[in-house]
Amino acid sequence: MSKHPIKAGLLQVHSVIGLAISLVLAVIGITGATMSFEDEIGASLNAGIMRVEARSAPMLTPDALIARLQAAQDFGHDLGKVSAVTMASDPSRAVRIRFARNEGGSRPSSVFVDPYDGHLLGTPRGEYFFATVRKLHRWLLLPGDANGFGRQITGVVAVGLIVMLVSGIVLRWPRRAGSVKMWLKPNLALRGRGFHWSLHSVAGTWVLVIYLVMALTGLWYSFDWYKNGATWLLSRPSVVAAPMQPKMQPKSPRGTGTGTGATDAAPLALDRAWSAFLHEQGGRFATAQLTLPAGAGTVVRIRSWARDGSHDGARDELRIDAVTGRLVSSEIYADKSIGERVLASVLDIHRGSILGWPGKLLFMVAAALMPLFVVTGFMLYLSRRKHRRMSRPTVGSLVPGE
């Protein structure tokens, strides 16, 4: 019997979970690293269509831009229903227009248009590639996307990763725990199993905190109970108790209330919501994204980012009735508590961008190292099995009484 039954049990748990989720972890790690600098890569690939020459003429309103785009001979009926419009205060920034999914479930590529005349500038390169990588990262390309089994599978894998991190740090706890060298320096002079163990355990210590952050924030996107629990824990009671109706505007049966029969017959106008947003925000915003309701409602969600915003999660969110111009709800980032700012920045924490580009680079390298642990862990598992077979005595060599 082992002198350390607890560690023996932890090793068994660590090995079994590792073998079960290793391939999925490798896929998640590689795809996560690929997306780390998606915005920067996209800006570089599409520099020619993302900017225009600033002019003295006034920029078109969202409705005028959509009308000009839909009137174009080549794209009038191919792009489908507009789902979002991204405007900028910078007079040299192009407007980006996104489209809703078609009946087949696919989403047409977004387009950039000239904010002064609505002229089509082109479709962004790399958009489909990163969209596919994102689906692989979050849902493993399984049917149903966020509503399918892939979401739960990645959540279970994140839980498994947490268990592996905790068991792994216990298993590698050195006798001289106060020695920084023992914790952080791999022994490159070793060979075989010893080298694999040193590399696996030391590199695991390097990225342990990052992987723990990735797993804990990744669970936010997999399980509603986790998301609701984090919201309850980190939000002020008044925010938790606030009604959620404005976020999903229900259909109104007889054209009454905020959902009118007219919205089913004609596209929802955005200009009134845009004017109300400008009245509320003035010139404080750098970029604003207007997202139309998915159903027959009339409440438009407008997310805006300030010029001095440190990360993507530092945004304001207004919901405005496009028919009346009434402000339905307002979430101002500056007014949020520390916990609510954490909730708003879950994605930025998950990918390290809350620490700026150095954080993104650090998290990218950590994610790219995931296959290393898969390979070294598998090698250690095979070497343990081989060692057990070699140390097991054969029946013919046993002496009577053994």
Q: How many residues does the chain have?
A: 402
Residues 6+ apart with CB under 8 A from 208: 165, 168, 169
Q: How far apart are the C-alpha atoms of 402 and 397, rounded to whole Å?
A: 10
Nearest alpha-carbon partner for 29 in 400, 364, 397, 340: 364
Q: Is residue 33 part of a domain?
A: no
Q: Is residue 11 part of a domain?
A: no
Residues 6+ apart with CB under 8 A from 364: 32, 33, 36, 37, 352
Residues 6+ apart with CB under 8 A from 330: 280, 316, 317, 318, 319
pLDDT in tens, 340-365: 999 999 999 999 999 999 999 999 99
Q: Is residue 364 part of a domain?
A: no
pLDDT band for 258, please (50, 70, 90 cuts): very low
Q: Are 122 and 75 in contact (CB under 8 A)?
A: no
- 315 pLDDT exceeds 60? yes
Instruction: State the DSSP code for 296.
Output: S
Residue 380 CA to its chain's centroid (Å): 32
Q: Mean pLDDT for the chain?
A: 86
314: CATH: 3.10.450
Adjacent-strand bridge partners of 315: 305
The letter for the amino acid at 325 is G
Q: Is residue 350 part of a domain?
A: no
C-alpha distances out from residue 317 to 39, 281, 322, Å: 21, 11, 15
Average pLDDT on 241-250 reads 49
Structural domain that includes position 249:
236-336
More confidently predicted of 145 and 273: 273
Q: Is residue 257 part of a domain?
A: yes
Tokens standing for residue 296: 């027959």
Nearest alpha-carbon partner for 311 in 273, 271, 269, 363: 363
Average pLDDT on 289-293 reads 95
Q: Is residue 139 part of a domain?
A: no
pLDDT in tens, 72-96: 755 444 677 899 999 999 999 999 9
Q: Are 315 and 346 in contact (CB under 8 A)?
A: no
Q: Is residue 199 part of a domain?
A: no
> What is the 3-class SS of 193-245, one letter each residue?
HHHHHHHHHHHHHHHHHHHHHHHHHHHHHCCHHHHHHHHHHHCCHHHHCCCCH
pTM of the model: 0.86
Q: Are 186 and 372 in contact (CB under 8 A)?
A: no
- pLDDT on residue 97: 96
Between strands 95-99 and 111-113, the pairing is: antiparallel
- 49 pLDDT exceeds 70? yes
Alpha carbon distance, N-terminus to C-terminus of the chain: 16
- pLDDT on residue 128: 95
- 198 pLDDT exceeds 60? yes
- pLDDT on residue 1: 41
Average pLDDT on 297-312 reads 90
Tokens standing for residue 311: 């990360």
- 34 pLDDT exceeds 80? yes
- pLDDT on residue 17: 95
- pLDDT on residue 252: 42
- pLDDT on residue 389: 73
Tokens standing for residue 278: 């400008």
Tokens standing for residue 95: 């407007």
Residues 6+ apart with CB under 8 A from 117: 60, 68
pLDDT band for 253, please (50, 70, 90 cuts): very low
- Three-state DSSP class for residue 90: coil
- 15 pLDDT exceeds 70? yes
Q: Is residue 49 part of a domain?
A: no
| Number of structural domains the chain divides into | 1
pLDDT band for 245, please (50, 70, 90 cuts): very low
